[in-house]
């Protein structure tokens, strides 16, 4: 039986989508053993893959929070520019169209805030979005 370090390396490589053949060569383990480990360690592999995907989304501003922050910063910059300009270089129409465009983008990223009762906690599917969850109102 292989040690924990080898299995952890397998989880890491498999979560990155590396083929059984390449993993077998690196770890010097048969493909059949890797297939068995894959069944045994499926949850760990999927969780690590989810963590890696979340990091990638955050890096490239794909999370909802990052999008809202990014668009909000652009909108604030446009508004600040509008406040300090005489609008001679950019027509009023162009500047206001930009403000409207980014305001609309920001509105699309807004997610309603939801609350849950304590007894609903077990119903949470952590892979769904906030808007998919059952809401609780006071």
Task: Encode pLDDT of 27-77 as tens digits.
Answer: 999 999 999 999 999 999 999 998 998 888 777 766 777 778 888 888 888
More confident residue, 126 or 19: 19
Predicted confidence band of residue 127 (pLDDT cuts 50, 70, 90): very low
Q: Look at residue 11 and tell me whether its pLDDT is greater than 90.
A: yes
C-beta atoms surrounding 71 within 10 Å:
20
Q: Model pTM? A: 0.46
* Tens digit of each residue's pLDDT (9 = 90 or more) over 66-107: 778 888 888 888 888 878 876 667 777 888 888 888 888 888
Please tell me which residue, 10 or 126, carries the higher pLDDT value.
Answer: 10
Structure confidence at residue 135 as a pLDDT band (50, 70, 90): very low
Q: Would the pLDDT of 124 be above 60?
A: no
Q: What is the mean pLDDT of residues 15-19?
A: 93
* Tokens linked to 73: 């910063």
In terms of C-beta density within 10 A (0-12 exposed, 13-18 middle, 19 or more buried), how is residue 111 classed? Answer: exposed
- The whole-number average pLDDT for the span 115-119 is 69
pLDDT at residue 129 above 50? no
């Amino acid at each position: 039986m292989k040690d924990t370090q080898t299995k952890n390396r397998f989880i890491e490589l498999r979560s990155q989508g590396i083929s059984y053949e390449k993993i077998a060569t690196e770890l010097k383990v048969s493909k059949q053993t890797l297939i068995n480990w894959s069944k045994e360690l499926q949850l760990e592999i999927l969780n690590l893959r989810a963590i890696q995907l979340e990091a990638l989304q955050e890096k490239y501003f794909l999370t909802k929070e990052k999008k809202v922050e990014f668009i909000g910063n652009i909108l604030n910059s446009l508004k600040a520019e509008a406040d300090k300009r005489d609008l001679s270089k950019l027509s009023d129409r162009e500047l206001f169209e930009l403000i409207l465009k980014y305001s609309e983008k920001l509105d699309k990223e807004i997610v309603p805030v939801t609350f849950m009762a304590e007894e609903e906690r077990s119903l949470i599917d952590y892979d769904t979005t906030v808007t998919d969850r059952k809401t609780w109102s006071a």
